Amino acid sequence: MKAKVAIPLVIASFLSVACGRACTEAVDVAHEEYGARAAVRKYEWFKDTAAQLQKKMADIEVYKQRISVMEKDYEGTKRKDWDRTDKEQKNQWHNELAGVRASYNGLAAEYNSNMSKANFRYANVGDVPAGSEALPINFSAYTDGK
C-alpha cells in the first residue's frame, strides 16, 4: 500500500520540477527576446540598417548622375569614338552600380524579413521613444535596370 502511494508522489514531484524548469525557461526566453535590452538592440539594428539602405540609395543616384553626365558629354558621338579611358570609366561605373544595387536589394530583403517576423512597433510613430523617429516598415527592391 505504501508503494502505491509513494510512486504517484515521486511522479508528481518529478512533474512539478520539470514543469517549473520549463516554465522558468519559457520566461527566460521571452525576457531575452522581448525585454528592454532586446528591444533596444533590435531598434538599433533597424535604425542602422535603414541608414545603410538610404546611403546605398544615394550612392545609386550618384553613379547614375556620373554616367548621365558622361553620356551627355559624348552626345552624338558613337561609343567606338569615345576616349578609351572614358569608355573604361563608364564600364567601371556600371559594374559598381550593379554591385551597389545588388547589395541594396539583399539588405532590403533582410530588413523586410526581420520587420515582418514580429510586430515591431518601431515603425509606428506613436510607439517609439521621445526623440526617436519611426522607421520605414519596408524598403522596396531597387529594380531600375538603367
Give the Cβ contact number of residue 119 at 10 Å. Answer: 8
Nearest-angstrom CA–CA distance, 66 and 134: 33
CA distance 55 to 67: 19
Chain mean pLDDT for the chain: 79
What is the rounded average pLDDT of the residues 6-27?
62
Domain boundaries, the chain: 1-34, 39-146
For the question of whether the overall pTM of this predicted structure is more than 0.85, the answer is no
Q: Does the pLDDT of residue 146 top 90, yes or no?
A: no
Q: What percent of the chain has pLDDT over 70?
A: 63
To the nearest 10°, the Cα dihedral for 15, 16, 18, 20? 160
What integer pLDDT is reported at residue 68 of this predicted model?
A: 97
Residue 119 grid cell:
510586430
* Mean pLDDT for the stretch of residues 21-37: 70
DSSP codes joined into one string, 105-131: HHHHHHHHHHHHHTT-GGGSGGGSPTT
Tens of pLDDT along 109-123?
998 888 877 666 655
Burial of residue 61 (number of CB atoms within 10 Å: 0-12, 13-18, 19+) = exposed
